[in-house]
Amino acid sequence: MRCGFPLGTGPAPECLECREWPGVLERTRAAAVLESPATELVHGLKYHGWRRTGEYMGAEIVRRVGQRLGPIDAVVPIPTSLSRQRRRGYNQAEVIARSVAAALARPLVSALTRPRADRSQTTAGPTERLANVKGAFRLEGDAHRRLEGRRVVLVDDVITTGATLGAAAQTLADADPASILAVAFARRVPMAHIDTGPG
């Protein structure tokens, strides 16, 4: 399945999670479900300066889902706004992406920028998330030269609705890559989809 979301046990003619995603985003995968301890690791990286946690996350992505990605030519981090990067001291997705690139022995290409500081996605619903990231990304000047005809993987910390990755992939498509995949350390999954075992 394209988004890697659990379909459950009933018949499903299509996945409701990724049917609105742009066609240019071929597939996404995450190393973990966003529950403890993954939640604490993500919060530590984003809000408490646990930068080295991002290196671990990147290594875990490659260890857990790297074989399912197929050949990759370039690794592209999801950019954050300049104000958030200044506040944190780093872009958490770039820290993770550097680790992914090192583990895959592929170049890290900072092909996207995020010129405007959109509102936090943390508490936003699906519709608001889509509106927040619409037009949020721009291609860097040399992105076309570096990515044309290449198999690219986008990297973020968390997949919630896929709105951010979808918007980034749409912008990245202007560089004419051969394919666009996406990975994240964790994926938010509603509790109804999580098998908690016998009750």
Distance, in Å, from the CA atom of 31 to the CA atom of 62, rounded to the nearest integer, reads 8
pLDDT at 116 over 50: yes
Cα 121 to chain centroid, rounded: 13
What percent of the residues of the chain are helix, what percent strand, and what percent coil, each to the nearest 5? 40, 20, 45
Confidence of residue 196 (pLDDT cuts 50, 70, 90): very low
Q: Give me the pLDDT at residue 193, please.
A: 45
Within a domain: 84: yes
Structure tokens at 152: 């690219």
Distance, in Å, from the CA atom of 96 to the CA atom of 151, rounded to the nearest integer, reads 19
Q: Give me the pLDDT at residue 195, please.
A: 44
Residues 6+ apart with CB under 8 A from 5: 15, 17, 18, 187, 189, 193
Confidence of residue 125 (pLDDT cuts 50, 70, 90): low
- Residue 116: give the domain boundaries: 25-191
CATH number at residue 167: 3.40.50
Q: Answer whether the bond into residue 11 is a cis peptide, omega within 30°.
A: no
Residues above pLDDT 90, as percent of the chain: 69
Within a domain: 164: yes
Report which of residues 127 and 92 the model is more confident about. Answer: 92
Confidence of residue 129 (pLDDT cuts 50, 70, 90): low
Q: What is the DSSP string of 104-165?
A: HT--B---EE--S-PPPSTT--HHHHHHHHTT--EE-TTHHHHHTT-EEEEEEEEESSSHHH
Confidence of residue 102 (pLDDT cuts 50, 70, 90): very high
Beta pairing, strands 138-139 & 151-159: unpaired
Confidence of residue 134 (pLDDT cuts 50, 70, 90): confident
Confidence of residue 87 (pLDDT cuts 50, 70, 90): very high
Confidence of residue 132 (pLDDT cuts 50, 70, 90): confident
Within a domain: 96: yes
Sequence-distant contacts of 15-19: CB under 8 A, at least 24 apart: 17/161, 17/162, 18/162
Q: What is the mean pLDDT of the chain?
A: 86
pTM as predicted:
0.84
Q: Give me the pLDDT at residue 100, please.
A: 99
Within a domain: 125: yes
What's the number of domains the chain is made of?
1
Q: Give me the pLDDT at residue 191, please.
A: 53
What digits encode the pLDDT tens for the residues 9-37? 455 555 556 666 667 899 999 999 999 99
Within a domain: 7: no
Within a domain: 68: yes
Confidence of residue 154 (pLDDT cuts 50, 70, 90): very high
